[in-house]
Amino acid sequence: MKRTSILAATLAAGLTLSACGGDSDPLDDSGEESGSSSSDTITIGSASFPENVLLMEIYAAALSDAGVDVETRGNIGQRETYIAGLDDGSIDMIPEYTGALTLYLNADAEATDPDGVYAELQDALPENLTVLEPSAAEDKDSIVVTAETASEYDLTAIGDLEPVAGELVLGGPPEFEERFTGVPGLNEVYGLEFSAFRPLAAGSNLTAQSLANGQIDVANIFSTDPSISENDFVVLDDPDALFVAQNIVPLVTTDAVNDEITTTLNGVSAELDTAILTELLAQVVVGGEAPEDVAREFVDSIG
């Protein structure tokens, strides 16, 4: 499969994070320069979308149980903003995604499998940043159809769309039309030419609603989106790995890493997989529960 620099350049802005915005001064609501409250306090941040906030709360609950003094600073914004926060000490840790972070740090990264991506990530990290063990949980791009469409065209993998793509409308966030891990990659890797692409607002339920209502036939939806299970959508396999691995991993400033933090968060990652994360996220997004309450229940359940 051909891997080009187009993929790296376009994905470097962050697959999952590309559509997430932040406040004008997300690191400090007071408008004043701020850092961690003390050298003994770990400040955990999050990007500006519910899943990342939930992961922040999970890390915070687990570390608090381990006796670590924790502060949280959620909804910081996009990757460029919170990486700057890690650099200046405003935060000490944030949940990250291996593939997007690797390409942000190294536009020439080529691996797509989880182990390869993680190895390239470790090589690309600057000295002031460290990643702990990744979880099996991933939040990555996926190609999704309704159960009816999957049955009608006998679809199980993305490549199965090739004979019928010309009859179907693809929908997803606007950037999906241009980046390699979108319309161009689907064409180059799987030979798909859809009848049309319909741009839909990112970070909303519009894509899932449009798929369920028949306004589009194929959708780009992130793999942990609760709408997939709610609507019995079918996620098509990606055997040629167009979509790079996106395992969730704690990104920590090197100075903040110690045995207690490493052991605790590695234990959390060992218990977290995509199905569990999807269920937890549904409690927040669909059920309306507070992320800190869902996080506390999960951490208690894994001891």
Q: What's the distance, CA 39 to chain centroid? A: 30
Query: Does one domain contain both 25 and 128?
Result: yes
Query: Does one domain contain both 178 and 215?
Result: yes
pLDDT digit string, tens, across residues 105-119? 998 998 999 999 999
pLDDT for 202 equals: 63
Maximum separation of any 2 CA atoms in the chain, in Å: 60
Q: Is 167 left (phi over 0), alpha (psi -120 to 50) or beta?
A: alpha
> Among 2-16, 122-136, 223-237, which is the least confidently predicted range?
2-16
> Among 126-130, 176-180, 231-235, which is the least confidently predicted range?
176-180
Final residue before a domain boundary, out of 199, 218, 235: 235
In contact, 245 and 107? CB cutoff 8 Å = no
Final residue before a domain boundary, out of 199, 217, 235: 235
Letter string b/e over residues 263-299, b meaning 16 or more CB atoms within 10 A of that residue's CB: ebbeebbebbebebbbebbbbbbeeebebbebbbebb
Domain of residue 165: give its range.
141-235
**Reported confidence tier of residue 143, pLDDT bands at 50, 70, 90:** very high
Cα(60)–Cα(64) distance, rounded to whole angstroms? 6
Query: Does one domain contain both 280 and 263?
Result: yes
pLDDT for 303 equals: 85
Q: What is the CA radius of gyration of the chain?
A: 19
| Tokens of residue 268, six digits | 């959390």
Query: Does one domain contain both 218 and 279?
Result: no
Q: CB pairs under 8 A, 24+ apart, for 26-32? A: 26/75, 26/76, 26/77, 26/81, 27/73, 27/76, 27/81, 27/85, 27/90, 27/91, 28/90
Residue range 22-46: average pLDDT?
A: 53
In contact, 112 and 119? CB cutoff 8 Å = no
Query: Does one domain contain both 127 and 175?
Result: no
| CA nearest to 278, candidates 173, 137, 78, 157 | 137
Query: Does one domain contain both 10 and 117?
Result: yes
Whole-model pTM: value is: 0.78
Residue 18's domain is classified under what CATH number? 3.40.190.10
Residue 177's domain is classified under what CATH number? 3.40.190.120
Cα(168)–Cα(166) distance, rounded to whole angstroms? 6
Query: Does one domain contain both 116 and 213?
Result: no
Final residue before a domain boundary, out of 205, 235, 265: 235
Letter string b/e over residues 24-33, b meaning 16 or more CB atoms within 10 A of that residue's CB: eebbeeeeee
Compare 46 and 14 and report the one with higher pLDDT. 46
Query: Does one domain contain both 134 and 145?
Result: no
Query: Does one domain contain both 101 and 229?
Result: no
In contact, 42 and 98? CB cutoff 8 Å = no
**Reported confidence tier of residue 205, pLDDT bands at 50, 70, 90:** confident
**pLDDT higher than threshold 90 for residue 5:** no
| Tokens of residue 11, six digits | 């994905």
CA angle in degrees (0–180, nearest 5) for 270-281-25: 100
Residue range 274-293: average pLDDT?
A: 95
Query: Does one domain contain both 156 and 221?
Result: yes
Which amino acid is residue 38, in one-letter code? S
Query: Does one domain contain both 226 and 264?
Result: no
Q: How many domains are contained in the chain?
A: 2
Query: Does one domain contain both 187 and 175?
Result: yes
pLDDT digit string, tens, across residues 232-241? 999 999 999 8
